[in-house]
Structure 1
Amino acid sequence: MTHQIVILAAGMGSRLGRSLPKPLTALSDGRSIMRQQHDNIRAAFGDDARITTVVGYRAETIVEAFPDVDYVYNDRYDQTNTSKSLLRALKATGRAGVLWMNGDVVFDPRVLGRAVDLIEREQSFVTVNTAKVSDEEVKYTVDDRGLISALSKTVRGGIGEAVGINYIAAADKKTLIQQLGRVDDQDYFERGLEFAIIENGLRLQPLDISDLYAVEVDFAEDLERANQYV
């Protein structure tokens, strides 16, 4: 089975204060953020995994660093958010289910191993951390079936945070594409997922990885924390 993987790496990452795209930021072990993502992907799914990267800001630097993957270019990277980058990637990856991640997430290799069972069962999911619930992060709640019922930064009573590694099953892909097409340019992709839950009955399962590390690197202090793990 060939797994379809998407990395969202079009943004400028200005909050970290680096000139290069954030996924090329060096970690303390000498790898870039994106290199550790590639290593984790290959460890979980082997060399047959097909990686598609959405690029925008200084795209040539990422293409030069990783010439052997597929690319989708978001020429409106400075005017749109992750919803529109993911939309372009989903349209470019055929009918198969897609595992996608933000290009600035440093994470434990075991995260993807834990996700394999859900992927093989074609169950859409969002990885979550229930150990903390910060106001500025994307939060979620669940219904009485244990499926995600709300997913956004404005969720009240959130029981955990979304980590930034997710899967959309083949059967749910068309619905998510439609919803990502209607959300605002500045919306995160979670907005499309939330619409799909409310309007289309998308069954989205939380995958708890609270015991494993996953750090979304937005600021210098996030990078310091990520470097404690790698």
Structure 2
Amino acid sequence: MSIDVVILAAGQGSRMKSSLPKVLHKLAGKPMVLHVIDQAKQLANSSIHVVVGHGADQVEAALANEECGFYLQAEQKGTGHAVAQAVPGLRAEGVTLVLYGDVPLTPASVFESMVQTAQQGKVALLTVKLDDPTGYGRIIRSAVNDVVGIVEQKDANPEQLAITEVNTGIMAMPTSHLIEWLPQLSSNNAQGEYYLTDLIAMAANAGISVQAQHPESEYEVQGVNNRRQLAELERWYQLQQANRLMDAGVTLADPTRIDVRGELVVGSDVEIDINFIAEGSVKIGSGVTIGPNCVIKDAVIGDNVEILANSHIDGASVAAGCQIGPYARLRPGSDLAAGAKAGNFVEIKKAKIGEGSKVNHLTYIGDAVIGKGANIGAGTITCNYDGVNKSLTEIGDNAFIGSNSSLVAPVKVGAGATIGAGSTITSEVGDEELSVARGKQRNIAGWQRPVKKS
């Protein structure tokens, strides 16, 4: 049976105090609405429809790579009116699941359960009990505990306001019922809007069972209306990531000071110090230690790698037994073979560092291929850019590059070659050769330093 997922993303979010549409504010490094879409895509045979309004162009641009349709709610007349905009794209023989672009952390397993209920001809409603239900629509139950309606806070009487079971807004039902009931909605209420929640009473009056389902945590259905709520949800999400890592055998110095902004896969016996950030797709092998204040993005880290404090690794591959940092930066295209070292204040970009080679400190290696067992001295620079094009520097196995050397690409240094400290190399150095390219030293006796004029 077909599944249509309608995601409401038309609200302005004025309490965010931002020109950015609310659903595009990021949680764990990703717009909230993309969290919702990613979970919805896990439903088999599903089509996704996004209702846009405020900042529609921005939302559609942000979701340009997603397979979804867009429907404009030009006027904000309530949730029922918003869903009605997507009706032309719905398949009457299937079921429809209604979600919200500012409720980012509901798991796909909850959606799957609700869809299964709707496929049985029932209405599935996601509810939650809150200690403080202020602001939420209250769930109305019959004397035999059946769900028979929802009353919004502004329309509730004192007895109804005492109810702690509230509506999350997330519901699923046969699409034929949705199409039938939406035109019957009325705006005769305190807000003058068409409430989607009125469909629950319509279902009960039609003798159709309404099945309430519940999340494991209230945070799974928490919406975001301001930046404080966004920060609160972020910390809850990150704590779940920390717990997952610790359950998998990772030692965290402080579970409250780690941020996972993407997919992080970690081996066993990994130790991570404070203020660690993982972005994009990150894979970390077993036996890895990561010092404080490190950022790893879209990278693969092999077994038994040591990453020292304040290092940034982005788009790089680091093989087993390497040592990185402190204060090292590996940029996209960096590829370190087993046992290689990139030390303090070293920057590497689009370069292959051979097995056991050392780039110890204060060095820039860009657009280069370095063989095995090479030693690159402090202050070495591969001069890879001539202002228009970038060129390759090749350094052979066991080469030694003296400190403060400049290698002007394109250039090749042979295996076992030695470059004298302070040299500027502009032409090829053969295997086992010594190359010294620097000005001749002169010592001038009796030199008088300039003195400051009175």
Mark yes or no: TM-score above 0.5. Answer: yes
Q: 2:209 aligns with which of 180, 192, 203?
A: 203
Residue of structure 1 equivalent to 2:225? 218
The structure-2 alpha-carbon separation of the partners of 1:150 and 1:133, relative to structure 1 and needing over 3 Å to count, comes to: farther
The one-letter code of the counterpart of 1:152 is: V
The structure-2 alpha-carbon separation of the partners of 1:132 and 1:179, relative to structure 1 and needing over 3 Å to count, comes to: farther
The structure-2 alpha-carbon separation of the partners of 1:216 and 1:195, relative to structure 1 and needing over 3 Å to count, comes to: same
1: distance between equivalents of 2:195 and 2:6? 15
Q: CA deviation at 1:90?
A: 3.0
Structure 1: any 5+ residue segments left out of the alignment?
none
Residue of structure 2 equivalent to 1:5? 5
Residue of structure 1 equivalent to 2:99? 101
* 1:153-199 alpha-carbon deviations (Å, 9 max, x no partner): 2440424111121112234223322323x335524321x32551465
Residue of structure 2 equivalent to 1:56? 53
2:176 is equivalent to residue 179 of structure 1:
no
The one-letter code of the counterpart of 1:9 is: A
The one-letter code of the counterpart of 2:106 is: D
2:35 is equivalent to residue 30 of structure 1:
no
The structure-2 alpha-carbon separation of the partners of 1:108 and 1:83, relative to structure 1 and needing over 3 Å to count, comes to: closer
The structure-2 alpha-carbon separation of the partners of 1:12 and 1:73, relative to structure 1 and needing over 3 Å to count, comes to: same
Identity of aligned residues (%): 19
Residue of structure 1 equivalent to 2:234? 227
1: distance between equivalents of 2:207 and 2:119? 21
2: distance between equivalents of 1:133 and 1:83? 25
Q: CA deviation at 1:98?
A: 0.6
Residue of structure 2 equivalent to 1:72? 71
1: distance between equivalents of 2:180 and 2:144? 21
- Give the 3-state SS of the residue equivalent to 2:41 in structure 1: helix
The one-letter code of the counterpart of 1:92 is: G
Q: CA deviation at 1:144?
A: 4.2
2: distance between equivalents of 1:52 and 1:179? 22
1 or 2, which has the higher helix percentage? 1
TM-score (norm 2): 0.45
2: distance between equivalents of 1:228 and 1:113? 26
- Give the 3-state SS of the residue equivalent to 2:35 in structure 1: helix
Which stretch of structure 1 is more off in the superposition, 108-117 or 14-23? 108-117
Q: CA deviation at 1:136?
A: 1.3
Which stretch of structure 1 is more off in the superposition, 116-125 or 6-15? 116-125
2: distance between equivalents of 1:74 and 1:150? 26
Give the superposed CA RMSD. 2.3
TM-score (norm 1): 0.85
C-alpha contact 1:179 1:195 (8 A) present in aligned 2: no
Q: CA deviation at 1:146?
A: 3.7
Q: CA deviation at 1:91?
A: 4.4
The structure-2 alpha-carbon separation of the partners of 1:218 and 1:207, relative to structure 1 and needing over 3 Å to count, comes to: same
* 1:91-137 alpha-carbon deviations (Å, 9 max, x no partner): 43131321011221122313224324313323212101124351211
- Bigger RCO of structures 1 and 2 (CA < 8 A, at least 6 apart): 1
